[in-house]
């Protein structure tokens, strides 16, 4: 077996272990949340018997260890449990499996993240490489200043500025990203344009600056001087000699930002009323819908782990010392 395949399996194994530890932390953290669902739903006036009966229906009267084992065993079989909302005690059983709640929202989130990534990653790479190529020029300074400006403002501010410009002054895009499962693809892209644009402005700076720094960092290497002494032009030096050795740090930053696109964009979702998974989780936290909170948290953790794994693999396959051992 090629050593890289082995490494990938090792990392995957470690990822599963990490995910398991994270599940413990999530469960423990939720245990520590004040208040409980029964009280929150039934209100102050509920009698103790009603609350106890409701808790029994939800299984909240079981010891924490049992509930954890029950939950994690379900997760291992792909079952995230059932939401606390709309249970039988409220008359009709309208409760839904957590997975049915999360799946459409997650799909929307991934769509927005994908759309943003398709624009932001190539843009950041292009800006970073060209800034390194024309280092210290007016172009370089302008790009640096602009990206720094956009990253320095809070997301909601960037969002409102964009709404002002692109929906009020020059109405090009809709200000509400009202999408559902049967919205057509082109229409989806059009309606998601505003949040995607906002997120692009927020994440491009970080990736662009890392790309530029990783390349410039290598320009002092002896092999870069050697490349110049064989008559390579500046463009060739950057693209052929510096960039291939700079992928590992760039990939790490890209992975970090992509993970942010999945797990950290709730503010932008709220501004554009985008039905993403971030809003779902915030709602679930405020209504103490524990199975949904746990499900979201676990998916977020898995996103980080998988994207970092991908970044690690990129780091390995672009490093000849690891790819072609002695």
Partner 1 sequence: MTKSDILLDIKGLKIEGWSDEKWHPIIKGVDLTLRRGEVMGLIGESGAGKSTLGLAAMGFTQPGCRITGGQIVFDGVDMTTLSDAQKRRYWGNRMTYVAQSAAASFNPAHRLIDQTVASTVRFGISNEATAKSDARTLYSALNLPHADTIGDRYPHQVSGGQLQRVMTAMAMSPRPDLIIFDEPTTALDVTTQVEVLRAMRKIVEEFNTAAIYITHDLAVVAQMADVIKVLRFGHEVEEADTRTMLAAPKEDYTKSLWSVRALTKPERPVQENILSVRNVSASYGKVPVLHNVSIDVPRGSTVSVVGESGSGKSTVARVITGLLPPQNGQVMFDGDPLPQALKDRTKDHKKRVQMIYQMADTAMNPRQTVREIIGRPLEFYLGLTGRAKDDRVRELLSLIELDDRFIDRLPSELSGGQKQRICIARALAAEPELIICDEVTSALDQIVQEGILKLLMRLQSELNLSYLFITHDISTVRAISDHVVVMQLGRVVEQGTKDSVFQPPHDPYTDLLLSSVPEMDPDWLSNLKLPELT
Is residue 324 near partner 1 by the rule CB under 8 A?
yes
CB 288 within 8 A of CB 225: no
Is residue 227 near partner 1 by the rule CB under 8 A?
yes
User: Which part of the chain contacts partner 1 (CB under 8 A), choosing from 81-89, 164-172, 174-182, 316-324?
Assistant: 316-324
Is residue 3 near partner 1 by the rule CB under 8 A?
no
User: Which part of the chain contacts partner 1 (CB under 8 A), choosing from 49-57, 146-154, 185-193, 224-232?
Assistant: 224-232
Q: How far, in Å, are 128, 130, 149 from residue 139 at the CA level? A: 11, 9, 15
Residue among 171, 226, 235, 273 that touches partner 1 (CB under 8 A): 226
Q: How far is the CB of 253 from partner 1 (least distance, A)?
A: 19
SS3 155: helix
Please enumerate, as own/partner, the contacts of 177-182 that have beta carbons within 8 Å and a separation of 24 or more: 177/272, 177/273, 177/274, 178/273, 179/108, 179/274, 179/275, 180/275, 181/104, 181/107
Is residue 2 near partner 1 by the rule CB under 8 A?
no
Size of the site for partner 1 (CB under 8 A): 21
Is residue 221 near partner 1 by the rule CB under 8 A?
yes
How many angstroms separate the CA atoms of 69 and 161, rounded?
A: 48
Is residue 318 near partner 1 by the rule CB under 8 A?
yes
Specify the DSSP class assigned to residue 324. Answer: S
Build a one-symbol-per-residue string for 239-258: x at contacts with partner 1 by CB under 8 A, - elsewhere.
Answer: --x--xx-------------
User: Which part of the chain contacts partner 1 (CB under 8 A), choosing from 75-83, 129-137, 217-225, 298-306?
Assistant: 217-225
| Rg of the chain on CA atoms, in Å | 24
Is residue 20 near partner 1 by the rule CB under 8 A?
no
User: Which part of the chain contacts partner 1 (CB under 8 A), choosing from 15-23, 37-45, 186-194, 220-228?
Assistant: 220-228
Q: φ, ψ for residue 2 (rounded to 5)?
A: -60, 140
Q: How far is the CB of 4 from partner 1 (least distance, A)?
A: 15
SS3 82: strand
List the one residue out of 283, 278, 280, 285 whose CA is nearest residue 34: 285
Q: How far is the CB of 137 from partner 1 (least distance, A)?
A: 15
Buried b (16+ CB within 10 A) or exposed e, 206-218: bbbbbbbbbbbeb
Q: Which positions touch partner 1 (CB under 8 A)? A: 221-223, 225-233, 241, 244-245, 318-321, 324, 326
């Amino acid at each position: 077996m090629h050593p890289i395949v082995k490494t990938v399996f090792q990392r995957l194994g470690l990822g599963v272990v990490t995910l398991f530890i994270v599940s413990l932390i999530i469960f423990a953290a939720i245990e520590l949340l004040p208040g409980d669902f029964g009280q929150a739903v039934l209100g102050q006036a509920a009698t103790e018997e009603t609350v106890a009966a409701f808790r029994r229906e939800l299984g909240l009267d079981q010891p924490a260890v049992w509930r954890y084992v029950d939950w994690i065993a379900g997760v291992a079989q792909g079952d995230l449990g059932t939401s606390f909302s709309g249970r039988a005690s409220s008359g009709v059983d309208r409760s839904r499996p957590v997975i049915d709640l999360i799946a459409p929202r997650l799909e929307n989130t991934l769509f927005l993240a994908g759309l943003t990534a398709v624009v932001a990653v190539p843009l950041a790479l292009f800006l970073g490489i060209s800034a390194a190529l024309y280092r210290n020029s007016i172009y370089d300074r302008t790009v640096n200043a602009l990206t720094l400006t956009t990253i320095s403002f809070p997301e909601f501010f960037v969002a409102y500025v964009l709404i002002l410009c692109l929906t009020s002054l020059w109405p090009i895009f809709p200000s509400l990203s009202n999408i559902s499962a049967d919205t057509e693809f082109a229409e989806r892209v059009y309606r998601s344009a505003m949040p995607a644009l906002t997120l692009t402005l927020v994440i491009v700076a970080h990736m662009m600056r890392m790309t530029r720094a990783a390349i410039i960092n290598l320009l002092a290497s002896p092999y870069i001087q050697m490349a110049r002494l064989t008559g390579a032009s500046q463009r060739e030096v950057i693209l052929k000699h510096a960039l291939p050795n700079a992928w590992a740090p760039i990939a790490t930053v890209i992975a970090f930002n992509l993970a942010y696109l999945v797990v950290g964009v709730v503010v932008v979702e709220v501004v554009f009323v985008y039905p993403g998974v971030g809003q779902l989780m915030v709602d679930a936290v405020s209504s103490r819908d524990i199975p949904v909170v746990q499900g979201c948290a676990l998916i977020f953790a898995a996103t980080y782990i998988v994207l970092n794994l991908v970044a690690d693999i990129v780091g390995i396959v672009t490093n000849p010392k690891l790819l072609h051992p002695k």
